[in-house]
Amino acid sequence: MKSRITALLMFMILGSSVMNAQISFFPYYQSGNGPGGWTVIQTTPIWNFGFASVGPSGKLNDTSIVCNNFAYASGTAGTLVSPSFNFTALAKPVVHFYVAHRSYTSAENDSLIVKISTDGE
């Protein structure tokens, strides 16, 4: 049976507090040799950082966070935590990212949950 993976991408929206490695220049675009500031929390190594061979609109060699969950047991989960973002200078901040999903059977129930926090929790 295909494993069920829950990916949590937590984008912390900070008020006036200051934290290390806080991103406050926008638009923010993550690309290059690796996703700086991202943290992977997992007991089973399901997530890794790499490069997409094909991305949205045919873009190549973009930084990716990849989960190959086909070979893992049901209930396996991983959490991805983004760097902190300070959106105080933006009137209407928007978080945008691409998600790709590949189904192998009709019984699959993989999921992605995006959590946004204003207090870092």
pLDDT in tens, 14-45: 333 334 468 888 887 766 555 677 788 888 77
Model confidence, pTM: 0.59
Token pair listed for 28: 């923010």
Question: Does some domain include residue 111?
Answer: no
Range of the domain at 51: 1-101
Does residue 26 belong to any structural domain of this protein?
A: yes
DSSP assignment of 80-93 equals: EEPPPB--TT-SS-
Residue 110 domain flag: no
The answer to whether residue 118 is domain-embedded is no
How many domains would you assign to the chain? 1
What pLDDT score does 106 carry?
67
pLDDT tens digits for 39-73? Answer: 888 887 777 777 666 666 666 566 677 776 666 67
What average pLDDT score do residues 3-12 get? 34
**56 in helix, strand or coil?**
helix
Of residues 42 and 121, more confidently modeled: 42
**114 falls within a domain:** no
Asked whether residue 108 is domain-assigned, the answer is: no
pLDDT at 47: 74
Asked if residue 87 belongs to a domain, the reply is yes
The answer to whether residues 110 and 67 touch, using CB atoms and an 8 Å cutoff, is: no
pLDDT at 10: 36
- pLDDT tens by residue, 67-106: 766 666 777 777 888 888 888 888 998 887 666 666 666 6
What's the confidence (pLDDT) of residue 85? 86
